[in-house]
Each structure stands twice: as C-alpha cells, then as structure tokens.
C-alpha cells in the first residue's frame, strides 16, 4: 500500500542521514542538489533559523518545479544558551562545540519545507537533548574517528558520541538525526 500522495518527490539534501530516513519511510524520491549559502540574519531566533534555511534551499527550484513535483528541503540547528550552532569547519571548532554541549541540555531544531508547483508548507520540530560531562579524550576520539564536520553541533546522535554521551532526550530521536520523520509523514499525507 502506498501511503503517499502521487507526486514525484525530490529531496534537496546532501545529507546521507536524511536520505536514509526517507528510504526507511518508504518514500520513492530522487536527490537533486543545488548549492545554497546557508547564511541567516542575526535577528532570526531558534526555530525561525532552520525554517528560513529550508525556505532558502527551496528558492533555486521554484521556477523548475513541474506540476507533479513535491520538493523537500530541510535544515537543522543546535540551539544552546541563546545561540545557534551550525556545522564546524575544523577540528578546533568541533572540539569547542562539544565542550560547550558537554554537561548541558540543548535543543535540536529542524525546519522543513514542502514545495509544490502550487503551494507550500513549512514546519519545525524541536527535541531537547542532554549530554553527560564528556572527557577531553572522549571528545578527541570522536572528532578524530568520526569527523563530524557535516553535522550541526558537531555530533550525530546515532554515532559513538550519542551512544556514550547522551543521557536524556525529549522529543523525536529522528529530528536529532536531522529530519522529523513522523511530522514529515503527517504533513506529506495531508499535503
């Protein structure tokens, strides 16, 4: 049985995790990448940031969408102490991010946009995540072995650091991976 409306689904994301999650959902889709600068105004706060970035990622497709296309764009941030953490560029940045997260609770916020030829829908999901106090050697091991430079906040919950370091999560586990799949499912079915 096919649960999804009859669209040609396009995922505009390089993220292997988002691709994996959509496959697990049973959605038949193709991946199309258009590079977009992920810059945002310092006036945006919390959930406004990933929703804005998901909207920004949809813009290059707007004049190309066919009547039966449904584009999925998404972005995820880590929010700690009133600031957004993006993806680290270097091991030094990753180490700083993980030290900041260590022993603290933070929020992971994913923004998603569904865009068709005629309409769109934007939404977000927030998960609260608590890290134990990480040791320097745990942080260094994780960065050197897993190279988390494509992940907001410099970590993947599904990787070693999540297994040994996350003590509590409130909200969607898959949202922390980068895509709130349950909420996305509901929005697609209702689109």
C-alpha to C-alpha distance for 149 and 63, rounded to whole angstroms: 32
Q: Which domain holds residue 51?
A: 8-189
Which one-letter DSSP state was computed for residue 151? S
Could you tell me which residue, 50 or 42, shows the higher pLDDT?
50
C-alpha to C-alpha distance for 152 and 105, rounded to whole angstroms: 15
Residue 51 belongs to domain with CATH number: 3.90.950.10
Residue 41, burial from CB neighbour count under 10 angstroms (0-12, 13-18, 19+): exposed
Q: What is the average pLDDT value for the chain, to the nearest integer?
A: 95
How many folded domains does the chain comprise? 1
Q: Which of 6, 39, 75, 100 is catalytic?
A: 75
Give the dihedral sign, CA 152/45/102/164: negative
* Ranges 3-7, 32-36, 39-43, 185-189: which has the least confidence: 39-43
Catalytic annotation on 69?
no
Q: What is the pLDDT of residues 138-173, one digit of tens each?
A: 999 999 999 999 999 999 999 999 999 999 999 999
Establish if 19 belongs to a structural domain: yes
For residue 178, what pLDDT is reported?
A: 93
Residue range 172-186: average pLDDT? Answer: 97
81 φ/ψ angles, rounded to the nearest 5 degrees: 50, 45
Establish if 1 belongs to a structural domain: no
Which one-letter DSSP state was computed for residue 158? T
Establish if 43 belongs to a structural domain: yes
Establish if 57 belongs to a structural domain: yes
C-alpha to C-alpha distance for 129 and 113, rounded to whole angstroms: 24
Q: What is the pLDDT of residues 85-113, one digit of tens each?
A: 989 999 999 999 999 999 999 999 999 99
Which one-letter DSSP state was computed for residue 118? S
Closest CA to 15 of 150, 166, 176, 183: 150
């Amino acid at each position: 049985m096919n649960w999804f409306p009859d669209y040609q689904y396009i995922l505009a994301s390089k993220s292997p995790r988002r691709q994996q999650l959509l496959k697990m959902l049973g959605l038949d889709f193709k991946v199309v990448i258009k590079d977009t600068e992920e810059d945002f105004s310092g006036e945006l706060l919390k959930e406004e940031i990933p929703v804005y970035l998901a909207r920004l990622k949809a813009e290059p497709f707007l004049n190309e969408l066919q009547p039966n296309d449904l584009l999925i764009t998404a972005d995820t941030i880590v929010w700690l102490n009133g600031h957004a953490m993006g993806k680290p560029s270097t091991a030094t940045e990753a180490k700083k991010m993980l030290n900041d997260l260590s022993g603290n609770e933070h929020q992971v916020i994913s923004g998603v946009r569904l865009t068709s030829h005629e309409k769109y829908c934007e939404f977000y999901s927030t998960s609260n995540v608590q890290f134990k106090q990480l040791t320097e050697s745990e942080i260094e091991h994780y960065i050197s072995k897993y190279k988390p430079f494509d992940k907001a906040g410099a970590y993947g919950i599904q990787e070693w650091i999540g297994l040994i370091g996350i003590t509590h999560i409130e909200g969607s586990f898959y949202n922390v991976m980068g895509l709130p799949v349950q909420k996305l499912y509901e929005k697609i079915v209702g689109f």
